[in-house]
Structure 1
Amino acid sequence: MKRTYRIILAVLTLVLALSLVLAGCSSQENGAVYVVSIAQTDGSGEESEFTVTYSDGTTSTFTVKNGKDGEDGAVSAADLYEEYKEIYGEDLTYEQFLEKYLTVSVPEDNSATIAKALLSCVRVYTEFTTTTLSGGWGGMQQTKGVSVSTGAGVVYQMDEDYTYFVTNYHVVYNENANADNGSNIARKIAVYAYGSQTSPYNSGEKGSDGYDVIEYGSDAILCDYVGGAASLDIAILRADTDDVLNVNEDMCAVTLADGYSVGETAIAVGNPEDEGMSVTEGIVSADSEYITLSVDGTSRQYRSMRIDTALYEGNSGGGVFNEDGELIGLANAGDGSDQNVNYAIPVSIVKGGADNIIYNSRNGGTSGVTRPTLGVTVSIASSKYVYDEETASGKITETLEVSAVTEGSIAEKMGLAVGDEVLAFVINGTEHEIDRSFQIGDLLLTLRAGDKISFKIRQSGQDTETSEYEILSSDLVSVE
């Protein structure tokens, strides 16, 4: 069914570049038919046509004359507001009309987003001393030398004294580093801001230790290793803020996204093949999956988000950003056989791990990550995809049930029992909804000694809350 109204208005020039799309509902009570959208469907000639779509699938149209004699016309939002009120009789102010219905579509251009994000991006170089073996049946020969690896990173946090960078653990770790290196962590670390043209080079001279001297140049920002965790593939570096701002006074900490969705823009900034900082763009292909990596010689499972953004060697540790320039992840792995299958550490793990490392370096006297073990196993009872029309995005939601509780554990002390449905994790009074199995593990990274925790659960059909438990220092264990 199609209903047609004809309304004549005197208006100024029709601006075809602006598409006024109104989405929402005028009345959704008692099953009444309501307006789903109003969109300009024709702007040729002397008139503009607008089509109204209703919740029952029917449509109506109205036309607006484009100015006097059809010349020099412009359809304004105010015009649409007046005609909307006249036709549908809804009592709402102009401001309410705009807030409730108006969306302006503009051309997508990520150049400004990328330009801002680059102020938080750096190239990372790590120096190790290594021993290599060569030779054959005639005998083996040991050769000592210096190895320089490359990756990328982002400015995570800045204060008056120090600037903290986050990168991948495997960028600062080398399992082949020899005893002269002191450990498997790089003996020297330098980062370069976007726009810096220098890179490390061999000076041709030998140091007092007998190894080649690597020069880093005046643009290098020398960093200390603060701490990291191989099982998260996250490491934190620290430099003097004065040194950072002397290179570029506009450098700033990255803005973290609250989360991300499948289909969302994924912009990667890195140092591929040590050819300098570059930008590639794609989308988030999967919000969470587990991949097997060997970061420090030990194979582990890593929770990752999959992206189809192109990544290359040297992208490791570089930021992955959304279309607003917010960090949604840290590039850390790729499928060498398929450039459309690459992986990044989700922002919740980046934030939880980075904050944990920085906190422990200041307060805990450790260079790594700590978290408590609750002693509870949760299983997915059911899952489904939920679409949110308001945000125009969707996500998978899971129903989680307790499947095992360890005797004497924190979970048992809190009162969790097999069969309980987990609804939320409460930390210091703040309720965190739990609708994915991985969220509890991510939140454990945020816990410190003295924090008070409990769970909102559905137990025997009744919604309730467990006993509160205060985290002790002895509850916190180091994460490899």
Structure 2
Amino acid sequence: MKTKICSVVLSVCLLFGCLGALSSCDKGGNADLVNAEINENGELVLTFGDGTEKNLGVVVGKDGKDGADGANGENGQNGASGGDGYIHITTDESAISLATAKGLRSAVSIVANFEATVQQGGWYPGYGSTTTEEYSFKGSGVIYRMDKNTGDAFVITNYHVVYDESSNSESGISEDIEVYLYGSEIEEKTIKATYVGGSMYYDIAVLHIENSDILKDSDACATDISDSDTVSVGDSAIAIGNAKGYGISASLGIVSVDSEHLTMLAVDGKTAVSFRVMRVDTAINSGNSGGGLYDENGTLIGIVNAKIIDDGVENIGYAIPSNVAVAITENIIDHCYGKDETSVQRAMLGLTVTSSDSRALYDPQSGKITLKETVSVYEVAADSLASGVLQKEDVLVSITLDGKTTQITRQHQIIERMLDARVGDTVTIALIRGGTNMTIDITITQDSVASY
């Protein structure tokens, strides 16, 4: 959700019906560590405030010399080189703190400035007088790429943070965009950014910063990105953004649903859009729109974009999964940066897919539960790329594009991989037809590409 400033009045603006652009429950950690000592067997034993103990095993050489002379250190954990062995202990709280600090380095606040002509007086257009109103939307963003030497960067944000249909801008996109790093949210630290391209349909926009001395002299960096398909319900979700337009802050919660579809009115107030999101119970407020959602390692798992606003609902927020956000961002950079195009160009196979045998699978190694389903072809559009190549009831196993193979275990995977496809690319699909394994190749043509 972005925040709008008109004159000196702060107000929340642009909620999509009951859904707004953006989204913590406090997450309890382990009891405090109160003591750590090595027992007579050379084992490190931790004692916590609630009286529980945890034995981390042998941390010194078997003869107790802790590897000081090299030879006797061979059996000491982390002492194989002859040096003393050390183990770094972190609690849940310190891990979250480190993850947040990492996320803050790639977090930015965004101010999109607009002008709009407002009629004053008169009952009909053309009567009375007009005045020009200046106002701003406040939101958040994430540094996606950055060259510290040149001071250049690409920033991901939400489309609705930089767009207002009622503004005087012909495209509705702000022509005066400001970016601020964490800890430098003051006027003299303003970084000017330009709009590269975006998608109202996906609610993603990409900004470009060029030759910024502030970036060159900062500790800011591009975000590390996680594979959002590996995110599970219950994983930590840290939202970092410009909440309420008060400056960059962080909130903590968990992933409530790893993947679902959200249908709402787009920022223009008239176009219905449906996109895939993950649901979180992390506190998301006005101004968090476009900010990063990070895991317990401080790597990006999503871009915050909406929350439910209702008196009977608390802590239901949404984020665009990182795999989707990254694919869209790369698509925009490839098609729009330095070019006349300003929208996402997505290749269309001409398929309608369906799923069956949806199931939850437990992984004893990771301790996580993941959802999987069998994805098959429901319909093939006439005169499409898939026409005459794929058939109804083909079971889709994997898709390979540009050397990367994705196992198809959820419906969204084959659709979203097409965001990575470019004209001339060959897509290889492994499938099962009538019990027989086979592969087919499809070449992407210009006619198959549509703007989103």
User: TM-score by structure 1 length?
Assistant: 0.73
Amino acid corresponding to residue 290 of structure 2 in structure 1:
G
Please tell me whether Structure 1 or Structure 2 has the larger radius of gyration of its CA atoms.
1
Match 2:140 to one of 147, 152, 164: 152
Q: Paired residue for 2:402? A: 428
Cα displacement string for residues 76-132 of structure 1 (whole angstroms, at most 9, x for unaligned residues): 26899xxxxxxxxxxxx999xxxxxxx998421211221122111111000111133
Match 2:161 to one of 171, 177, 181: 171
Cα displacement string for residues 287-317 of structure 1 (whole angstroms, at most 9, x for unaligned residues): 1112223222222112111000001100000
Alignment check: 8 A CA contact 1:382 1:399 kept:
yes
- 2: CA distance between counterparts of 1:306 and 1:285? 5
Alignment check: 8 A CA contact 1:158 1:253 kept:
yes
Q: Name whichever structure is richer in helix by fraction.
A: 1
Match 2:385 to one of 404, 410, 414: 410
Mean Cα displacement is larger for which, 134-143 or 149-158?
134-143
Q: Paired residue for 2:418? A: 444
Distance 1:407 1:319, change over 3 A: same
Q: Paired residue for 2:212? A: 242
In structure 2, stretches of 5+ residues that fail to align are: 1-38, 63-74, 78-86
User: TM-score by structure 2 length?
Assistant: 0.78
- 2: CA distance between counterparts of 1:429 and 1:370? 21
Amino acid corresponding to residue 288 of structure 2 in structure 1:
N
Alignment check: 8 A CA contact 1:11 1:75 kept:
no
Mean Cα displacement is larger for which, 142-151 or 306-315?
142-151
Distance 1:136 1:282, change over 3 A: farther
Alignment of 1:255 onto 2:224: yes
Alignment check: 8 A CA contact 2:193 2:208 kept:
yes
The alpha carbon displacement at 1:14 in A equals: 5.9
The alpha carbon displacement at 1:343 in A equals: 0.5
Q: Work out the number of aligned pairs and report it.
A: 382
Alignment check: 8 A CA contact 1:18 1:104 kept:
no
The alpha carbon displacement at 1:451 in A equals: 1.1
Amino acid corresponding to residue 130 of structure 1 in structure 2:
A
Cα displacement string for residues 194-253 of structure 1 (whole angstroms, at most 9, x for unaligned residues): 00141xxxxxxxxxxxxxxxxxx320000110000000100000011433424x432110
Match 1:393 to one of 346, 368, 374: 368
Alignment check: 8 A CA contact 1:158 1:241 kept:
no
Q: Paired residue for 2:82? A: none
Cα displacement string for residues 314-370 of structure 1 (whole angstroms, at most 9, x for unaligned residues): 000000100100000011101122331001111011100000101112476412210
Alignment of 1:107 onto 2:91: yes
Alignment check: 8 A CA contact 1:18 1:105 kept:
no
Cα displacement string for residues 240-272 of structure 1 (whole angstroms, at most 9, x for unaligned residues): 1433424x4321100000122111110001111
Per the alignment, in what secondary structure is the counterpart of residue 145 of structure 1?
Answer: strand
Per the alignment, in what secondary structure is the counterpart of residue 172 of structure 2?
Answer: coil
Alignment of 1:116 onto 2:102: yes
Distance 1:363 1:376, change over 3 A: farther
| RMSD, matched Cα | 3.0
Amino acid corresponding to residue 357 of structure 1 in structure 2:
I
Per the alignment, in what secondary structure is the counterpart of residue 350 of structure 1?
Answer: helix
Alignment check: 8 A CA contact 2:44 2:58 kept:
no
The correspondence of residues 211-360 of structure 1 with structure 2, limited to 5 A, is 217-246=187-216, 248-259=217-228, 260-293=231-264, 294-297=266-269, 298-337=271-310, 338-360=313-335
In structure 1, stretches of 5+ residues that fail to align are: 1-9, 20-40, 51-73, 81-92, 96-102, 199-216
- 2: CA distance between counterparts of 1:363 and 1:146? 29
Per the alignment, in what secondary structure is the counterpart of residue 386 of structure 2?
Answer: helix
Distance 1:445 1:42, change over 3 A: closer
- 2: CA distance between counterparts of 1:387 and 1:456? 25
Amino acid corresponding to residue 40 of structure 2 in structure 1:
V
The alpha carbon displacement at 1:285 in A equals: 0.5
Distance 1:296 1:244, change over 3 A: farther
Q: Paired residue for 1:76? A: 58
Match 2:114 to one of 128, 132, 139: 128
